[in-house]
Structure 1
Amino acid sequence: MHGRWRRTSVVVVASAIAAGAFTGPVSAATSASVTAASASCGKSVAFPGGDTWSFYPVRKLTFKGRTLWLRNVRLTDYSYAYIKSGYRAGDLVTVHRSKNGGKTWKNCGPFARDHSNQQPNYRVWMRACIGVRVSGALRSKCTSWYYDKG
């Protein structure tokens, strides 16, 4: 749409995906068991931490010293996951996209960086998830679901 929106390819550590690295316990509604999925979904975020005039947080959570945001842009109707603070090498982010309030969802990720690709959010449910290593085991947590009415 704008010149600053450029598509880039994403490289994800294959061994992390093959090993099912983005897995964790399913307990509360904000926890998730995330299995290997496509990291070639959506489009790249040109300025993941910047451009605060159009991207704004709609969901936030703090987990193991990291602050995760689900950021939304109204102009283009896209959302993406972003580790606002505390990012460490090896952290993973993903976005879940659901058409039925979270009963089932499409997984976009994991991304071995501080942000995911953007996903269309118009009239769908979205949430951001983070995976971090704790004593060698990968633990994950997700924001609550967000619905963009348009």
Structure 2
Amino acid sequence: MFTRIRRRALTLAFATGLLTAQVVTMGASPAAAAPQDCERGANGFVDIPDTLRGAQAPVAPVSIFGRTATLYVGSVRGVTRGWAHLGGDTLWGDSVWMDWTQNGGRTWLQCGPFEVSSGGQTKTSAAQRASSDANWQFRACLRWGRHDPPHVRCTAWW
């Protein structure tokens, strides 16, 4: 009897562990993407100058050690679009990207990273059209240098 109870308890614990592992690994994650997946018109993105700024989207910028990622929105080629911008005390190796979701953040495409090649340089992601669809959202992310583990911060979704 004791062995049967212990066996059931171990089986339950093992099953719970597997379920927990599945939930963690099946959580929201980005699609595998590289800068070329959102440059030169890929996936509806358009290239913009690294100095372009628009109106700050209604989410707070994020900062790490003097570098700041801001999500901007503005007119690009006559269309309202969103993009990520990295500025501040940047150094070689800092990078910025924009995550774009069409399902409220359950999955997303990571547009970038776009890396700074010299200190003090600003950098932007490519720009994607905005939408009134509540599931169509963006966030700006930055990575400080090439550290391991990485120092990464992202804005809230907008």
Distance 1:34 1:92 in 2: 17
Gaps of 5+ in 2: 1-27, 39-44, 117-122
CA-to-aligned-CA distance 1:116-150 (integer Å, 9 cap, x gap): 1112222311000111137554221100000xxxx
In terms of Rg, which structure is larger?
Answer: 2
Given that 1:91 and 1:133 are in contact with CA atoms closer than 8 Å, whether structure 2 keeps it comes out as yes
The worse-fitting range, judged by mean Cα deviation, of 116-125 and 102-111 is 116-125
Aligned residue number for residue 150 of structure 2: 138
- 1:93 partner amino acid: V
Aligned residue number for residue 118 of structure 1: 127
Distance 2:33 2:74 in 1: 24
Aligned residue number for residue 3 of structure 2: none
Question: Against the structure 1 CA distance between its residues 64 and 38, is the aligned structure 2 distance closer, same or farther, given a 3 Å change threshold?
Answer: same
CA-to-aligned-CA distance 1:59-108 (integer Å, 9 cap, x gap): 31222221110010155121111113122111111111111221111111
Specify which structure has the higher proportion of helix.
2
Question: Against the structure 1 CA distance between its residues 135 and 44, is the aligned structure 2 distance closer, same or farther, given a 3 Å change threshold?
Answer: closer
Report the number of matched residues. Answer: 111
Aligned residue number for residue 101 of structure 2: 98
- 2:48 partner amino acid: V
- 1:45 partner amino acid: I
User: What is the TM-score with the length of structure 2 in the denominator?
Assistant: 0.60
| Pairing of 1:1-150 with structure 2 (within 5 A) | 37-40=33-36, 41=38, 42-46=45-49, 48-50=50-52, 55-58=54-57, 59=59, 60-74=61-75, 76-113=79-116, 114-122=123-131, 123=133, 124-133=136-145, 136-146=148-158
* Aligned-residue CA RMSD (Å): 2.4
- 2:141 partner amino acid: C
User: What is the TM-score with the length of structure 1 in the denominator?
Assistant: 0.63
